[in-house]
């Protein structure tokens, strides 16, 4: 970072990082979009808005136009088919509201909403990092968030940018002890992306650890003193995490409407915790290494969270959030190419990554590597290339 930028107010630094990262992502999408051949969204090269408005953007647009089905669509054999209940409502309904006011089309409006949300997310992430690290490290942590391999998704018609904004706000407000202010943020966040369960777990575990520490320090004289704002926020988060499945049940009349819809994208069948990781690993590495790989992944993740730089740079809540979300993915995620995008909520790890070394060369190398991997990610997954068996890997 130049000395002039380092001397600027924190919000100016944020704007510079945001603008630079969004301009690079625009260049990546524009470049790859011009290489697009015939596919589901056109017969040849696509412009920026046309290219970014593909994949799940179609589902969000359909929800904005039509809402959610009153019953689950099924095939002749009674199996649930792909439908809108897999997608949470806040982003498409927000875009529909903005579209009704401005009269603009879906692609431009949805992209603009995501872009604006990404700016808010950058500001809040920077504020959160400034609580945890010196200004230079916080600034570079923000750079690594903005140039991480899947950061281009923060300006497309997906809910990721809005969720990152709400997640950063919830973490920041909770860290500041502003639990009442965090409550509506958490509720909206739980209706934006399916990460309410790990967030509720993170709040509950953080409350438990803090309560035990207070008790051991002799600062908790009565059990009732343990009932505080953090516990209340954790309980609220539990309810909010279950809100969307409950809404799907209420509208369709089927208790498992949401989970049945989610499993359609996994090939159908019952929701099986953990097992898909072993199935995917066996397919990639064979029957022996496939059984070992998930265990190694867990050991590596635990070692990462115990690393000195992570413990020094992240507070208890941030560490527990990272651990809770990782466990949630391990339990319920069906690993596939979309997994890369679903790692975005682990953004607090960018701060200790920046803190590994204060060498400018190291930090620039990390940022440049992420920027190059954005080209790989968009070129590999966003760019439609039909597979021999039909379809393509989703981003």
The pLDDT score that the predictor gives to residue 217 is 85
Average pLDDT over residues 133-160: 98
How large a percentage of the chain has pLDDT more than 70? 99
Q: Place 383 in a pLDDT band, splitting at 50, 70 and 90.
A: very high
Neighbour tally for 300: CB within 10 Å = 10
* Tens digits of residue pLDDT in 5-62: 888 999 999 999 999 999 999 999 999 999 999 999 999 999 999 999 999 999 999 9
What residue spans define the domains of the chain?
Answer: 3-70+82-259+271-382
In a 10 Å sphere around its CB, with 0-12 CB exposed, 13-18 middle and 19+ buried, how is residue 81 labelled?
A: exposed
Q: Cα separation of 282 and 300, whole Å?
A: 19
**Three-class DSSP category at 134:** coil
How large a percentage of the chain has pLDDT more than 90? 87
The more confident residue out of 310 and 78 is 310
Q: Alpha helices of the chain — where are they, by DSSP H? A: 3-7, 10-33, 48-52, 57-66, 90-102, 106-132, 135-146, 160-175, 179-190, 196-216, 229-241, 243-252, 257-264, 275-306, 308-313, 316-332, 339-342, 350-355, 360-377
Q: Place 90 in a pLDDT band, splitting at 50, 70 and 90.
A: very high
pLDDT over threshold 70, residue 197: yes
**Three-class DSSP category at 364:** helix
Mean pLDDT for the chain? 95
The pLDDT score that the predictor gives to residue 1 is 54
pLDDT over threshold 90, residue 111: yes
pLDDT over threshold 70, residue 2: no
* Tens digits of residue pLDDT in 227-259: 899 999 999 999 999 999 999 999 999 999 999
Asked if residues 301 and 349 have their Cβ atoms less than 8 Å apart, the reply is no
**Three-class DSSP category at 74:** strand
Q: Place 272 in a pLDDT band, splitting at 50, 70 and 90.
A: confident
Residue 260: CA atoms inside 13 Å, Cβ hemisphere, count? 17
The more confident residue out of 387 and 345 is 345
* Tens digits of residue pLDDT in 324-370: 999 999 999 989 999 999 999 999 999 999 999 999 999 999 999 99
In a 10 Å sphere around its CB, with 0-12 CB exposed, 13-18 middle and 19+ buried, how is residue 222 labelled?
A: exposed
């Amino acid at each position: 970072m130049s000395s002039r930028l380092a001397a600027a107010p924190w919000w100016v630094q944020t704007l510079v990082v945001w603008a630079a990262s969004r301009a690079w992502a625009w260049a990546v999408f524009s470049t790859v979009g011009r290489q697009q051949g015939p596919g589901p969204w056109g017969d040849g090269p696509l412009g920026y808005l046309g290219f970014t408005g593909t994949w799940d953007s179609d589902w969000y647009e359909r929800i904005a136009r039509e809402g959610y089905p009153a019953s689950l669509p099924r095939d002749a054999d009674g199996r649930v088919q792909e439908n809108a209940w897999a997608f949470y409502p806040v982003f498409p309904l927000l875009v529909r509201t903005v579209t009704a006011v401005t009269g603009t089309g879906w692609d431009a409006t949805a992209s603009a909403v995501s872009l604006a949300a990404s700016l808010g997310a950058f500001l809040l992430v920077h504020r959160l990092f400034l609580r945890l690290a010196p200004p230079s490290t916080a600034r570079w942590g923000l750079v690594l968030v903005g140039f991480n391999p899947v950061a281009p998704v923060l300006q497309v018609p997906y809910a990721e940018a809005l969720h990152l904004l709400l997640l950063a706000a919830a973490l920041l407000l909770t860290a500041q002890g502003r639990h009442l202010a965090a409550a509506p943020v958490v509720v909206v966040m739980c209706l934006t992306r399916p990460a309410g369960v790990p967030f509720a777990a993170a709040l509950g575990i953080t409350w438990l650890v803090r309560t035990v520490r207070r008790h051991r320090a002799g600062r908790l004289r009565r059990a009732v003193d343990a009932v505080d704002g953090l516990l209340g926020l954790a309980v609220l988060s539990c309810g909010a995490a279950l809100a969307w499945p409950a809404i799907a049940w209420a509208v369709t009349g089927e208790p498992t409407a949401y989970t049945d819809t989610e499993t359609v994208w996994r090939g159908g069948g019952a929701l099986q915790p953990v097992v898909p990781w072993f199935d995917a690993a066996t397919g990639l590495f064979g029957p022996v290494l496939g059984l070992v790989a998930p265990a190694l992944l867990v050991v590596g993740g635990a070692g990462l969270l115990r690393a000195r730089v992570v413990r020094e740079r992240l507070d208890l809540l941030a560490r527990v959030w990272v651990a809770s979300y990782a466990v949630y993915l391990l339990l319920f995620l069906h690993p596939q190419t979309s997994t890369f995008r679903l790692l975005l909520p682990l953004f607090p790890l960018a701060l200790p990554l920046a803190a590994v070394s204060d060498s400018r060369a190291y930090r620039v190398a990390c940022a440049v590597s992420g920027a190059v991997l954005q080209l790989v990610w968009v070129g590999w997954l966003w760019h439609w290339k039909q597979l021999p068996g039909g379809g393509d890997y989703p981003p």
